[in-house]
Amino acid sequence: MVTQKFFENFSGDQVRFLARSFTVPGNHLGQQSIGLRWPYGPVTIITPFNFPLEIPALQLMGALYMGNKPLLKVDSKVSIVMEQMLRLLHDCGMPLEDVDFLNSDGPVMNHVLVEAEPKMTLFTGSSRVAEKLAGDLKGRIKLEDAGFDWKILGPDVQQVDYVSWVCDQDAYACSGQKCSAQSILFMHENWTKAGVVDKLKTLAKRRKLEDLTVGPVLTVTTKRILDHIESLLKIPGSKIAFGGKPLSNHTIPEIYGAVEPTAVYVPLKEILKAKNFDLVTTEIFGPFQVITEYKTAELHLVLEACEKMHAHLTAAVVSNDVHFLQEVLGNTVNGTTYAGIRARTTGAPQNHWFGPCGDPRGAGIGTPEAIKLVWSAHREIIQDVGPVGSGWKTPPCT
């Protein structure tokens, strides 16, 4: 649905309007400066397994809309989806030579990038690979990498059942395999007194393998997830709030993960200790989150934790207290931040920006602003056609 609506958004002359230019009058007759959105030319797009259609389709079309020649590489586990999408585009009239499509593993694609030297690369995936590519490509890259995404429940408790359901969806839908998934939940003590943890536990228990409301984790093994939980439990005051066990009665291969939706409570002050922070804020790309509690006087500690995180992708501030919202929003930086009692971290539609903030390499997706930022550069042409004044004489040299 998102991909369909994206195509609808850029029907008619909307692609033409993406490249709208502007002019500024010059200093004399015949002079003006013209600001243009200019394509990079040869570009590459690398996208992950978890959104087989939406991410590669939207980024590919954005690259094409701005006049580039893209080479597309999708995670091989799901690349058949975009292969079929390309065939559909060809059937709808896209010239065969407009897009190159490569099936390969990571090292082969890395070699192609280094040898081909594309003018710009869009990478969506892990932070580890993103940083390697940023070096290999000498900075000619836009990134939408990992997100250790936070949610803050403010002091004003309301709509507890609804907020609990959104928290469950944000953390555990798609078995947590979304870069926007809720990774850590900061709960004001008023919410814990209202029983939000028990409600989350009840909601998580509804998820079962039979209907795939919890399912295989493609990039993190069961052992890796359980080892991470054990490491967190060594932090003083930590405990399993719910989950923490492998799924049973299944035939999921060991190379994948299969665990119950899990939440581990870690005390806020322990999270902030240097020896614990990197461990607590390690993204587990599965049905797992960290939860913690804070008092009103400890909001500054929550904001300190948010600032120290390195991947500022999505976030949610669940509150209708305007002054609380101003305090949190004014002291955080996440690129896609939802604010209000209905705030979430996941489920971004095509009609608003989705991408990180606070990093000059940050990419966006979906909107005209995102397309122009990622897939074009600003070029200024200063037109100066005269006339030269009839009385002009060669001036003294300077």
Could you give the residue numbers annotated as active site?
144, 179
DSSP 335: S
Residue whose C-alpha is closest to residue 64's, from 112, 6, 131, 146: 6
SS3 state at 373: helix
CA distance linking residue 330 with residue 355, whole number of Å: 18
Q: Are residues 320 and 158 in contact, defined by beta-carbon separation less than 8 angstroms?
A: yes
Sequence-separated contacts (24+) of 220-225 with Cβ below 8 Å: 220/257, 220/284, 220/285, 220/286, 221/254, 221/255, 221/256, 221/257, 222/246, 222/254, 222/256, 222/257, 222/258, 222/259, 223/254, 224/257, 224/284, 225/257, 225/259, 225/262, 225/284, 225/286, 225/288
CA distance linking residue 198 with residue 306, whole number of Å: 25
Residue whose C-alpha is closest to residue 381's, from 18, 24, 65, 39: 24
DSSP 396: P
Residue whose C-alpha is closest to residue 103's, from 56, 55, 54: 56
Which secondary structure element, helix H or strand E, spans residue 368, and what is its range? helix 368-375
CA distance linking residue 62 with residue 301, whole number of Å: 40
Residue type (1 letter), 116: A
